[in-house]
Structure 1
Amino acid sequence: MAKRKAGTKTTNRKTSKRRNKLGKAPGTITYMGHRENLSSEVAILEFNSEFSTLHKPGNIEQIVAHKDSPTTSWVNIVGLNDENFIEKVGHYFGLNSLVLEDIVNTQQRPKIDEYDAYIFGVFKMLYVNDADQLVGEHVAIVLLDNCVLMFQEIEEDVFDGVRDRVVNKYGRIRSKGPDYLFFALLDAIIDNYFVVLEYLNHKIELLEEQVYSNPNPEVAHDIQDLKKEVLKVRRWIFPVKELIGRLIDSENQLISKDTKMFLRDAQDHCIEINESLQIYREISMSLMEMYMSNMSNKMNEVMKVLTIMASIFIPLTFIAGIYGMNFDHMPELHWEYGYFMVWGVMIVLFIGMLIYFKRKNWL
């Protein structure tokens, strides 16, 4: 019950956020998330084939200096509730107001928009936290000529592998341009979708065991929660395949042919993920049918036992009813051994019916 109350509060907050946005002009920067007490922090990872350096700028000018830097820069901005700061960053980097609106709109579905000077993408970063709960975070990435801007709500993310490759010069990332960095970040998000699939698959296997071994109302609630979770994950992941296809077919000069080859591999992963999600969706829906069927079978077993018991006692009750009548002139009523004879007949009937039901496999 506590989880449902928490979910209701979250829904109410979302509704309140949407109401705050009603009536405002398109392009108005309105933060739609719920992490409102976090100040925006910036970390810049600058690198080329020879070196890499990580530093935190002290002002907006130091951030904007990387727009025209000869090296590749990964500008990571954590915290989206500071609308004025986001607006300043967007202004200095020449981002459209509609792009800035989508950056702070944490309820925005995945999308890709191409502009003359940059490519903008919104994705859902999914991971399983230490409490074994599925977390979905809003991530916005902007690919510029020699810079990648990334906006996220909280510091926790799935990009440690990318940072490690840049810092320790693993693979080809240091020798490639910002378009490959853009791909690497997107690829890290997609790779973590496989972890989410394993998480969902594990939950499905546990629920299948519970449905067969111990179907109860709590299991039904868990199945319903699983269905909602699968549908939510599918809504976040399903569009990514099409978005990557648009990048592959794009003629934008910001994406090289070499990077498009890697994007095709990411698209293949998305196809595999979407197929698995479709299977999980069907399984989650069939789990409820299995639960109802098992509950019905369980009830039928109970009814069968009760019916057999009633069938055994019906003839015994009939005999007891006859000899319980108060007529004076009843045969065997005053017989010396009548009581024991009635008991004997009833016991023989009881045992005989048990043997009959057993042979019929009704017991």
Structure 2
Amino acid sequence: MLKRHFAPGASPATLVPHTEGEGAVKPRIHLLEYDANSFAEHEVTESADLLALIDAGKITWINIDGLGDIDALELLARKYGLHPLALEDVLNTGQRPKVEEFQDHLFIVAQMVYQDATECICGEQVSIFLGKNYVITVQEEPEYDVFNPVRERLRAGRGSIRKSKADYLAYALLDSIIDHYFPVLDELGRSIEDLEDQLLENPERSMVLKLHEHRRSLTQLRRYVWPLRDLVNGLLHDNSGQIKAPTKVFLRDCYDHTVQLMDFVESYKEITTGLMELYHSSVGLRTNEVMRVLTVITSIFIPLTFIVGVYGMNFSQEPPDNKTMPLNMPELYSPHGYIVVMGVMLVIAVAQLVFFRRKGWL
């Protein structure tokens, strides 16, 4: 979820392939072409072969996975007139979700969210070019994406996607990106609920670290979801003619989903804030319980310590020269002095316990 910057001062529209990180791989190019009656699918191994496979009479979806090479992007830019600044944003990952209008195409940036094999929440930029009969999508890396449901619908010819134009395909891809936020947030919500139960039963320091991880994930998701709503709203009010009226009806549903996502993110953020306060309150209550018990124990031993201290001074009533000293401690030579003192100490301790119990301090 880190943003990649070019060197400060670089000239506009500088295209620099990724040389490190997950995107620094040779791009995988996947070509889908279809109309109402036909469907074709190709894996393109060499960028130079791409243009020869494109059928101008069909709807074309070109998906590029990986940013380690810009040859395919440059070829497509020349063929479809893609703006150089849009190509720069494709390579400068971590862009804020947005939609930009150019002369004969729209450029859409969205953040795709998914969980990897370790159930870690990952974010990846998806760049979408929408033209009259084509959609070009560019992803950072080839291992994960959320477009398989759309591919399966195209292969099976289900629904109206094969009968619709390129703008409907762009909607379907954007809708798939938005819908895949929900299972990620559902899993995050379950984890937060489990943490809440654990905090109520036995708060531990490790839970605070987990809460901070969740808050960090929610903060990042909020950065993605808020501008995503504006993106869909921009498509709903598109005046370029690239988004047709029938597709805008479906985009309204997308807009509703982004509002729901915002509600989930904000609700979970409030819950995590409350859980953090709950943790501090639980720790404070446990500390108070411990301090109360220690205070009671200390209070019991204060008079006992006083008695022991007094009789531990060992003043003798009779000095070595047998001269009587009446003001010294006569109890030291009492035959039952030890038993009497222990009994007095026991009575004092029991009396204190009874008093504390009646006061509700125990």
Query: Above 0.5 in TM-score?
Result: yes
Unaligned runs of 5+ in 1: 1-9
Give the C-alpha shift of residue 90 in structure 1: 1.9
Question: Which of 137, 141, 157 in structure 1 is aligned with 2:128?
Answer: 141
Q: 1: distance between equivalents of 2:189 and 2:105? A: 38
Is structure 2 residue 86 aligned with structure 1 residue 109?
no
Is structure 2 residue 179 aligned with structure 1 residue 191?
yes
Is structure 2 residue 31 aligned with structure 1 residue 26?
no
Amino acid in the other structure paired with 2:266: Q
Q: 2: distance between equivalents of 1:68 and 1:118? A: 18
| Aligned positions, number | 349
Q: 2: distance between equivalents of 1:314 and 1:161? A: 75
Amino acid in the other structure paired with 1:70: G
Q: Does the Cα contact within 8 Å between 1:60 and 1:89 map onto a contact in 2?
A: no
Give the C-alpha shift of residue 265 in structure 1: 0.4
1:166 equivalent in structure 2: 154
Amino acid in the other structure paired with 1:160: N
Deviations 1:41-65 (A, max 9, x none): 1111111111212112355465335
1:357 equivalent in structure 2: 356
Unaligned runs of 5+ in 2: 318-327
More helix by share: 1
Is structure 2 residue 119 aligned with structure 1 residue 132?
yes
Q: Does the Cα contact within 8 Å between 2:83 and 2:102 map onto a contact in 1?
A: no
Q: 2: distance between equivalents of 1:36 and 1:99? A: 18
1:319 equivalent in structure 2: 307
Amino acid in the other structure paired with 1:109: R
Question: Which of 32, 46, 64 in structure 2 is aligned with 1:45?
Answer: 32
Higher Cα Rg, which structure: 2
Q: Does the Cα contact within 8 Å between 1:139 and 1:151 map onto a contact in 2?
A: yes
Q: Does the Cα contact within 8 Å between 2:24 and 2:67 map onto a contact in 1?
A: no
Give the C-alpha shift of residue 313 in structure 1: 0.5
For the residue of structure 2 that corresponds to 1:49, the secondary structure is coil
Deviations 1:185-234 (A, max 9, x none): 00000000111211221221132233333333322222222211110111
Q: 1: distance between equivalents of 2:251 and 2:222? A: 20
Give the C-alpha shift of residue 243 in structure 1: 1.0
Is structure 2 residue 232 aligned with structure 1 residue 266?
no
For the residue of structure 2 that corresponds to 1:137, the secondary structure is strand
Give the C-alpha shift of residue 351 in structure 1: 1.9
RMSD: 2.0
2:329 equivalent in structure 1: 330
1:87 equivalent in structure 2: 74
Amino acid in the other structure paired with 1:122: V
Give the C-alpha shift of residue 286 in structure 1: 2.6
Q: Does the Cα contact within 8 Å between 1:141 and 1:151 map onto a contact in 2?
A: yes
How high is the TM-score relative to the length of structure 1?
Answer: 0.90
Q: 1: distance between equivalents of 2:226 and 2:187? A: 17
Q: Does the Cα contact within 8 Å between 1:120 and 1:143 map onto a contact in 2?
A: yes
Q: 1: distance between equivalents of 2:9 and 2:202? A: 51
2:106 equivalent in structure 1: 119
Amino acid in the other structure paired with 2:357: K
